[in-house]
Structure 1
Amino acid sequence: MMFDRAKFDAHFFKGNLLFHYTTTQVALEHILFENRLRISPRKNSRDPIENSNHQYSFGTWGSGEKKPLSMDVRRNSEIILSSHIKKAKQLSFCKNGDYETYANYSLRPLDYFGCFKPRMWEQYGDNYSGVCLVFDREKLELNKSHISGNIKYVGYNILDLNEYNIDLDRIIEIGEEKFIEESKSKVTKNLFNKHLDYSGENEFRIMSFCDNQYDYIKEIKKSLFGILISNLATEYAQQTLKKICEDLSIPLVCIDWSTSGIYLYER
C-alpha cells in the first residue's frame, strides 16, 4: 500500500540520520546477519584519489640555528606517520540536507532526504536493486579507534604540496611525542577531503586506524532506524527484510521508480 508522505517525513526528517547504500546480499548475509558494519581499507575506495597512497614530504624547512635532528628521530617519525596513513580504513554514509532550512516545512522535498540519491542507488545500491539502511548516528557504538566527521568538498588545488608537508623542525619545538600526534591529526584531516564533484553525496565518514585489516561497528541493530528497498529487488529480499523490520519494529519502505519520479510503498 502507498506510504503516507506525512508519516515518512515525521519519521525520517531528522538531522542525525545516516544512510548507507549496499546490495541486498551484503545487507542480509553480512550487515544484518552479523549485526555489524565493516570499516574497510581506504585503498579499496573506487575513487582513485582516495585509493592511491598519499605522499607526504618530510623536511626541515628553515631550521636556521636549531639543533639538527638525528637520522634515527627523523626516520622513526616518518615510519610512524607512513604507517598511520596505510592503516586508514573508512565507512561512508549519506546525510539528510540542511535541517534548519526545512524545519518549518509541512512536507520536505524528496531531494532533502539522504535515501533518494539516484547515483548512490546506481553505484552502491546494486544498480537500483539493493537497499539503503538508515541509522541513528547518536546510537552507533563507536570506539576509541573511530574518528568521524563530515566530508569537506574541495577543488584539485587542495592537492597543493603545502598541504602535504610535514615539518620535522616541530619535533625540536614540541617534542617527538606531541609532534607525532599533531602530524597524525593533520594527516587524518586531509583524509576527510573529497573532490567537490561529489558534493551531492553529502557524505558523513567514519574512519579507523586500528592494526587489523578491517574494523567494525558492532550491535548496529540498536541504531537501525529503518530500511528502504527498491521495487527492483527480488521478492525474497523484500519478504526477508520485511520480517527483519517487523522484529525490530522499524519501517520498511519500498521505492517504486518511474518516469515521473518515485513512489513510496509500505511493505
Structure 2
Amino acid sequence: MIMNVTDANKYLYHYTPAAKAIEYILKNRTLRLSPYTGTNDPKERKGWLFDFGTNEGRDLGRYNRDEYSSWLSGEFKNKTLMTCLTRDSGPLSGNHLFDIFKRGFCKPRMWAQYADNHKGVCLVFDRQRLQQRIDTQVAPRFHVMSGPVEYVDRGIARDIFEDQQYTINVDVLEREGKDSYLLRHLHTHYQRLFFEKMTDWKDESEWRWVTFSESAEPIDVKFENALEGLVFGDDTSPEHREQIFALNYNKGVQHEGLRWKNCSPWYDWK
C-alpha cells in the first residue's frame, strides 16, 4: 500500500482514535454507517429551509414554509446514514519518496482532527472490496449511493430556475403525494444535497457512502478482507499498537507508521 502505488483510486482511508479502532472497528471487524446529522458540517447537521415553486400557477400562499421544510428536511436527514473516508490525491507516480504528500493517510490536519491528535490510526481499505461488502449487506435493503464529494462555494442568493435542490415543486407534490415526491426530489438533487461541501473542506478529498434507511439506527458493515492496511500515527502508544497487532493477527493486514522529522513526514519502517 506504499511502494509502487500508481492507482489513486485503489484505496480509501478512515482516520479514527486508537481506542475506537480497538473497541469497535477491529474487534467487531465492522465499519459503521452513522447518522448524517452527526457530522461536524453545519450544512449537514442543521435543518434545511425550502422554498416553493410551481409551473402551473398554483397558489403558493397556502403552503407553510416552516412546516414543509421541517417535513422534507427531516425525512432526508433523520433517516440518512453515511460513512466518510478520504482518497489519495492523484496522479501518483509510484515513487513513494515523492508521493507521500499525496497519500490519503498522510494528512496532518486530519490526524489532528479525527485521529486523536496523531495518537490514533488510519485504516486503509481497498475501495472495490469495500463497495462489494456494502452492496451485499446494505444495498438489498436500502438505497445506497457512493462517490466523491465536490467542493463548491455557493452564495445565499441563488438562481431559483437552476438551483432547485431547496425548492419544493408543489405541482409534483399535489399530483403524487408526499411519499412519492420525497423519492423524486432525492433522486433529482442527491448530488447537491449529499455530495457537495464548501471549498474549505477540499483537502479532505472525501469519498462517502450514503444510504437512506428506515430510521437513524446505525448499520455496521462487516468489511472482511476489504481492510488492507493500517497506519499508526506519530504518537500512537506502544500499548495501543500491541493491542492492534493482536486484533489483526493473521488477517492479512499490513501495518505501517508515520513519523515527523523536522518539517517532513516519513514512514516508520520498523
TM (norm. structure 2) is 0.81
Structure 1 contact 43–51 (Cα < 8 Å) conserved: yes
DSSP-derived class of the 2:200 partner? helix
Instruction: Count the aligned residue pairs.
Output: 251
- The match for 1:91 is 83
Deviation of 1:94 after TM superposition, in Å, equals 0.4
Q: Distance in 2 between matches of 1:117 and 1:198?
A: 13
Task: Find out whether 1:63 has 2:56 as its counterpart.
Answer: yes
Range 82-91 or range 48-57, more displaced: 82-91
Question: Which residues of structure 1 form unaligned runs of 5+?
Answer: 1-6
- The match for 1:135 is 125
Q: Distance in 2 between matches of 1:76 and 1:153?
A: 28
Task: From the superposition, tell whether residues 167 and 79 of structure 1 become closer, same or farther in structure 2 (CA, over 3 Å).
Answer: same
- The match for 2:109 is 119
Q: Distance in 1 between matches of 2:69 and 2:262?
A: 57
Structure 1 contact 139–222 (Cα < 8 Å) conserved: yes
DSSP-derived class of the 2:256 partner? strand
* Correspondence list, 1:184-195, <5 A: 184-189=186-191, 190-195=193-198
* Correspondence list, 1:23-38, <5 A: 23-38=17-32
Task: From the superposition, tell whether residues 154 and 60 of structure 1 become closer, same or farther in structure 2 (CA, over 3 Å).
Answer: closer
* Correspondence list, 1:143-162, <5 A: 143-144=138-139, 145=142, 146-157=144-155, 160=158, 162=163
Q: Distance in 1 between matches of 2:119 and 2:218?
A: 27
Identity %: 22
Q: Distance in 2 between matches of 1:158 and 1:204?
A: 26
CA-based RMSD of the aligned residues comes to 2.9
Structure 1 contact 256–262 (Cα < 8 Å) conserved: yes
- The match for 2:254 is 251
Q: Encode CA deviations 1:188-228: one digit per residue, 9 max, x unaligned.
A: 32121100111111000111221232332422132001000
- The match for 1:54 is 48
Query: Which of these residues, 242, 245, 249, is aligned with residue 245 of structure 2?
Result: 242
- The match for 2:100 is 110
Deviation of 1:54 after TM superposition, in Å, equals 1.5
Q: Distance in 2 between matches of 1:235 and 1:94?
A: 26
Q: Distance in 2 between matches of 1:159 and 1:194?
A: 17
